[in-house]
Structure 1
């Protein structure tokens, strides 16, 4: 019989630990150990569960996908290829209103293929795009809102780290998840660009038009910089070639996601060496990936233990039964889940939110008839939207920290990010109403 007292202690204890600042992995581990002990009353079973979960995690090759894709992104980022492509996009859009903001969205879309991490995209483009928009007299809040908003594409365009984590937690095909994110990602980027163009048309002062302003600083204006054709060709062919080889190989079954990530890391290393990466940069890339990936691996191990605890205690089944018997319709349940994600997004990072909630809410969503793939993409978008939600949206603080500009405060960045937050919420509603947006490519190609 289900013990509500035990369930309450596990869930409330976990949330309490997270809210007082205990690391999420430690919180998950403590809650899991306490939960298993309360259910079984035997330390021997707790030890056996810890040992078996750790052993299975270490043997699972899927866990290697994350550091390998991160290594691929790190090598490509250090090669300078993404900056070259951004400069070329910028030049190609010279006659289009708000070209710098549009180039930022398109550049973030390309950069998303490289990193799959929104915070990395936000930090990188704050340094790449903001100085130039500032030099062209763009409204600073509008510029940083475009950077923060478009960086969310990093979680949707494959190879997304969040998709990999979601796939591991729900035992879904990572290749199908990658495919499911392509059309929503392109659609979201299109909506962002439409908003930027409309803003440029109706409020030209936001993009430095319609008023006198100083000539841009030549040092900060990429339209005045000559990009050698050979350099651009190497960058473009290298990035497109790596993306096509890795994602195409996964989608058509040539290799598994883990093998594809390894091949991508090797190809990215070749590109970086071709573009002049030295030994010191190589060592720094390895170190940076290790420093970033190790905590994620520990989090995933703790999440695996947490999932077992939920199964042993029956919490997931009890929550699903509660919602089924509540009389709520599916969209009311979805609204509750999304609100929880928004609130958590103000406090903790995306991966931690997934580890805390997905093992519980995914079975609930399936019980109410939501499509599994579209719910995954919907959930990833909603979780990332939480990172733009005031007052503690992590993406906004990442952008603020990266620019080191005292003349613009986080309040202005939050205000300018609201339209992108609204567009992401619209995308959540579209995926809930039309799951075929996410299902079309996976069903056609896999």
Structure 2
């Protein structure tokens, strides 16, 4: 996307395929499973690394703080935009793992091939993946390889199926064992149903039966009927599908983001919204955070993270990252002390988080609800935002680590009307904490 882009068939049953052992993510009976065999549903957003590489470490940290379990990262092959070198790819994967995010890596230079000047073929994208293979091997538990973004525009897409099959076979012959993700043509929106009607044979062409299909939902998907019909056709044939991009508005029509998120939740399929920040050329409204500032979420950002069927409520970490804070059955590996100083119509709160577990927490978010008419004003040693009564505090660079048995503290002030009080419950990175 950004300013550069506008934005299943009868075959030998794929439901019986994909059950062989895999070193990482794998598809079984139409579902994406992680390396532990646990069902995994992508709930994340896109980040434009190729154009904003220096923003990536903080962006991934902020995306995680908003509750995401995954991030789709824009890479460049060097054909249209500055090449994302192997060392950069390795660093991105490290940052994803540090933030307990599944990394979906995509080659963006294919965007609109056949219609967009300068766009390259899927074959050229495979050349790129082969060139960075050394840093991706061994990362199959954490990385999904998205072969090429929106690999055809609205011209030349008739060869999508054969070109995609050839790309998959080349990747497997080269030794890639990762789950592969393939985008639809027609700028990702498949209004010609080319991917929908050929997905079965493309899946069968993968000797590992480890391919996931990605639809991008913008103006073509402006009604719930269209959203549900498209997704249900994959589900009914037990073919894995995700919504790899979508938004709450677009120049080619107003997508029905509520229907997209509701359908994804009902069907148990993944979604990755476009995009964290940095959109330009008239599509700045696609930003979730203004100027990469997590404290300045846009309406779209608040919708996808905190709204119905949103990321904060529906995301679950991949089990390959192991237990996180609060994953225990007795209330979680954290305790919170909330010291309130109330002066009538304004107040201070000093908050201490204790890590009661046995492993270090690196990167955290603390969620709670004000019990009355409190309004957050200013925070220190944390970045805090409020929506309604809900408050989320996330670490600063100097407070991101909570050693096993250790603590971090932050504070904030605000105004209040009526009776003030201590929040009844706290969650750290999604796990319940005790109140001490």
TM range (shorter): under 0.3
User: TM-score scaled by structure 2?
Assistant: 0.25
**Which protein, 1 or 2, shows the higher relative CO under an 8 Å CA cutoff with sep ≥ 6?**
1
Identify, as 1 or 2, the structure richer in helix: 1
Identify, as 1 or 2, the structure richer in strand: 2
